[in-house]
Amino acid sequence: MDPIIRLENVSFSYKINEKTKVSVLKNISLSIFPGEYVAIIGHNGSGKSTLSKLLNGILTPDHGEVWVHGHNTKDTNKKRAIRQAVGMVFQHPDNQIVATIVEEDVAFGLENIGVPREEMKKRVDEALNVVKMSPFRHRPPHHLSGGQKQRVAIAGVLAMQPECIVFDEATSMLDSFGRKEVIQVMRQMNNMGMTIITVTHHMSEAAEAGRIIVVEDGEIVMDGTPREIFKHKQELEALKLEVPSVSQMAEVIHRQFADFSRDIIHEHEFIGEVEEFLSGGVGS
């Protein structure tokens, strides 16, 4: 299978002025395949947002190439096709809402590309349905909660029918309830076949993905399944990252009760293990 996004020896630096450049990404090679659910983690300033913006041509590399469906992001004739294939959702829901009524906001991008009215209506209905915001379609977005606003922003991206959506810390401004709502939408979209890339500093959120990429100082330092990545507690700590809190708790219990599994990364696994333990299944 061909990758949907391929980075080949990509380096990127920000130009501060004529003389000064800040080198951010260093020789990154990476392939993202259709249908993947990828989390990108790394501490502040490691280059995650810069990397995200290279994935759909908002930024282009100084060295190396980024290919989206075989189109080079440096090819200005392909910019529109690339932006359409890879949508982006950012951190602040307020900065992404442009209209005064929810359904108009979701339709905004479609209007810009001249989608016919009937088709537009259909796509807005479907997108609002996926993010479970249909009952709010006639409301003004500024009355919504953070999680609801973010879901409206997602619907706007979804209506453009991208093959891949990149979420750059899209849950970081939300409370835990809003975050769960948005993660649920990500999972649902992935189940529908969409490629999902999410930048997050919540390890429980990264654990939901099928693959985690760890970025440190502009380089990829780990790439594997959540279960593989979270086995490397010490390496992660050295990168100022943690394992999910349920993994930490399981580890503490495991030290006292060796039969209690330490191989736990999800809340539901932890609860299951505790239930089994308390019912005498483990350790008896």
Residues near Mg ion, by CB under 5 A: 48-49
Q: Which does 141 bind (CB under 5 to 8 A by kind): Mg ion, ligand ADP, none?
A: none
Interface region with ligand ADP, contact rule CB under 6 A, candidates 39-47, 92-100, 112-120, 265-273: 39-47
Q: Is 46 in the site for ligand ADP (CB under 6 A)?
A: yes
- Residue 1 to residue 195: CA distance in whole angstroms: 14
Q: Is 41 in the site for ligand ADP (CB under 6 A)?
A: no
Interface region with ligand ADP, contact rule CB under 6 A, candidates 42-50, 63-71, 100-108, 130-138: 42-50
Q: Is 42 in the site for ligand ADP (CB under 6 A)?
A: yes
Instruction: Pick from 24, 30, 89, 253 the residue near ligand ADP by CB under 6 A.
Output: 24
Across the beta sheet with 71-72, the strand order is 21-32, 5-15, 63-68, 71-72
Q: Closer to ligand ADP at the Cβ: 91 or 184?
A: 91
Whole-number Cα distances in Å, 231 to 146, 220, 255: 33, 17, 15
| Minimum gap (Å) between residue 47 Cβ and ligand ADP | 4
CA 187 to chain centre: 10
| Minimum gap (Å) between residue 29 Cβ and Mg ion | 21
Instruction: Pick from 48, 83, 149, 202 the residue near ligand ADP by CB under 6 A.
Output: 48
- Residue 281 to residue 284: CA distance in whole angstroms: 6
Q: Which does 14 bind (CB under 5 to 8 A by kind): ligand ADP, Mg ion, none?
A: ligand ADP
Q: How many CB atoms lie within 10 A of CB 154?
A: 26
Cβ proximity of 150 and 171 under 8 Å? yes
Coil, strand, or helix at residue 251? helix
Q: Is 45 in the site for ligand ADP (CB under 6 A)?
A: yes
Indicate left, alpha or beta for 69 from its phi (over 0: left) and psi (-120 to 50: alpha): left
Interface region with ligand ADP, contact rule CB under 6 A, candidates 29-37, 47-55, 202-210, 245-253: 47-55
Q: Is 66 in the site for ligand ADP (CB under 6 A)?
A: no
Select from 100, 97, 86, 93 the least CA-distant residue to 138.
100
Q: Which does 150 bind (CB under 5 to 8 A by kind): Mg ion, ligand ADP, none?
A: none
Whole-number Cα distances in Å, 263 to 86, 154, 181, 195: 34, 33, 26, 27
Contact positions toward ligand ADP, by CB under 6 A? 14, 22, 24, 42, 44-50
